[in-house]
């Protein structure tokens, strides 16, 4: 497999933090650029087409939450949020606006790198499996294209975060198999220290809102009460 250098974009106004992150990532073989405010972040996103964004929530010119929403309108690039706020409510809220991951300051650089690398490993596995015929899953009006990292409903593209897509793909590619929330956390986030099972509840709700005609009566992702979820059209 050809190894290309991954491009990271760090959107953070605190110079010492962004420099430390950048140097650390460079040392570990990742390219990294820094934007010092939201506006620069948006234009650099377009210019650099980064593979991953590290986004601080408190920026001088805009709220990181708004920026995240804006990015999500036209890009599924993975976004890891940095925040000084540590409550679990913030964590879940943080996942409600399209971010894929969340770390609280102060954080460990090796943990940050581990999460980034875990994401790229999963991404490579999903996009590089040499089975060209089956990279598109079709279920009624829904198609899920693993290579393009894109779902469509009735031919219309669904705007999804990377983690939303991974979760949907994981369920759909194991059709009729029931997964517990813990199993899904493990499969999609890949580390047990992450968040709690509410994360999965939030993600499932958001995916349903995007792909289901009637999210309250889902026809793709079914709740299996007391157990978890399964993808089934039966």
β-strand partners of 11: 35, 55
Min separation Cβ 104 and Ca ion, Å: 13
Min separation Cβ 21 and Ca ion, Å: 12
Min separation Cβ 39 and Ca ion, Å: 14
Residue count, binding to Ca ion (CB under 5 A): 4
**Residue 164 near Ca ion by CB under 5 A:** no
Min separation Cβ 14 and Ca ion, Å: 5
**Residue 13 near Ca ion by CB under 5 A:** yes
Q: Which stretch binds Ca ion (CB under 5 A): 14-22, 87-95, 185-193, 225-233?
A: 14-22
**Residue 90 near Ca ion by CB under 5 A:** no
Q: Which stretch binds Ca ion (CB under 5 A): 12-20, 72-80, 116-124, 191-199?
A: 12-20
By beta-carbon proximity to Ca ion, the closer residue of 14 and 186 is 14
Q: Which stretch binds Ca ion (CB under 5 A): 11-19, 35-43, 101-109, 172-180?
A: 11-19
* Residues within window 15-74 making contact with Ca ion, judged by CB under 5 A: 56, 58
β-strand partners of 82: 56, 103
By beta-carbon proximity to Ca ion, the closer residue of 15 and 129 is 15
By beta-carbon proximity to Ca ion, the closer residue of 28 and 105 is 105
Distances (CA, A) of 125 to 146, 166, 203: 10, 11, 22
Q: What is the CA radius of gyration of the chain?
A: 18
Where does this chain bind Ca ion (CB under 5 A)?
13-14, 56, 58
């Amino acid at each position: 497999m050809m190894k290309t250098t991954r491009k990271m974009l760090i959107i953070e106004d605190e110079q010492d933090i962004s420099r430390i992150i950048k140097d650390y990532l460079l040392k570990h073989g990742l390219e990294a650029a820094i934007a010092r405010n939201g506006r620069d972040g948006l234009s650099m996103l377009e210019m650099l087409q980064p593979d991953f964004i590290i986004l601080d929530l408190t920026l001088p010119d805009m709220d990181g939450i708004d920026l995240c929403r804006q990015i999500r309108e036209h890009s599924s690039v993975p976004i890891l949020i940095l925040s000084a706020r540590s409550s679990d409510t913030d964590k879940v809220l943080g996942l409600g606006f399209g971010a894929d991951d969340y770390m609280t300051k102060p954080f460990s650089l090796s943990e940050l790198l581990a999460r980034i690398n875990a994401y790229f490993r999963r991404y490579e596995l999903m996009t590089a499996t040499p089975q060209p015929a089956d990279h598109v899953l079709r279920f009624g009006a829904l198609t899920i294209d693993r290579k393009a990292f894109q779902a469509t409903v009735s031919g219309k593209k669904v705007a999804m975060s990377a983690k939303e897509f991974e979760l949907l793909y994981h369920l759909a590619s194991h059709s009729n198999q029931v997964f517990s929330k813990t199993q899904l956390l493990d499969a999609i986030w890949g580390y047990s220290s992450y968040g709690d099972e509410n994360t999965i509840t939030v993600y499932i709700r958001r995916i349903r809102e995007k792909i289901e005609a009637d999210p309250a009566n889902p026809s793709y992702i079914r709740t299996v009460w007391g157990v978890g979820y399964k993808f089934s059209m039966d």
